[in-house]
Amino acid sequence: MIDKIQLILANMSDAIPGVLTAAVVSINDGLSIAEDSRKEGIDSAAASAYLASIVKSNLNAIKLLTGDQVTEDILITTNDYYFIIRYLPEQPFFIFLMTNRDSWLGKARMVMKEYDDQFKQFAEFLAKNYLN
């Protein structure tokens, strides 16, 4: 099944111009479940560990500020890059995507949403086989 999630991640990355790296990351421990790096020198596994703490902090902050609102995306921008974190609450993981600033941010978010069902199936597989 890990091979399948790796393929889903690669297919998603192929559909988004400017992707530098992508990962499926466990929220609980920050470990990468699957990675698709397209630029040498990017350690998405190390970044994933730090990003897990951002996701957890964001979930706590949103709960305090808005109560019942659900975070779908977290966007971090730098001079050269976009970092998009897609999280759906029923999943024990999030999707991390790093693109260059020349890429079309709207398309990246749209494509990530198009893969929600495939990632949901993976979450259901994890819940059925490993989390119970």
CATH of the domain at 17: 3.30.450.30
Rounded to two decimals, the pTM is: 0.89
Which range marks the domain in which residue 67 is found? 2-123
- pLDDT, tens digit (0-9, with 9 covering 90-100), for 83-95: 999 988 888 899 9
- 27 DSSP assignment: T
Q: How far apart are CA 102 and CA 60, in angstroms?
A: 32
HSE-CB of 61 using CA atoms within 13 angstroms: 8
Count of domains forming the chain: 1
Residue 84 lies in a domain: yes
Residue 131 lies in a domain: no
pLDDT computed for residue 124 by the predictor: 86
Q: What is the pLDDT along the chain (132 residues), one digit of tens a residue?
A: 678 899 999 999 999 999 999 999 999 899 999 999 988 888 888 898 899 999 999 988 988 998 888 888 999 999 999 999 998 888 889 999 999 998 889 999 999 999 999 999 888 887 787 765
Residue 110 lies in a domain: yes
Biggest CA–CA distance in the chain, Å, is 43
Residue 75 lies in a domain: yes
Residue 129 lies in a domain: no
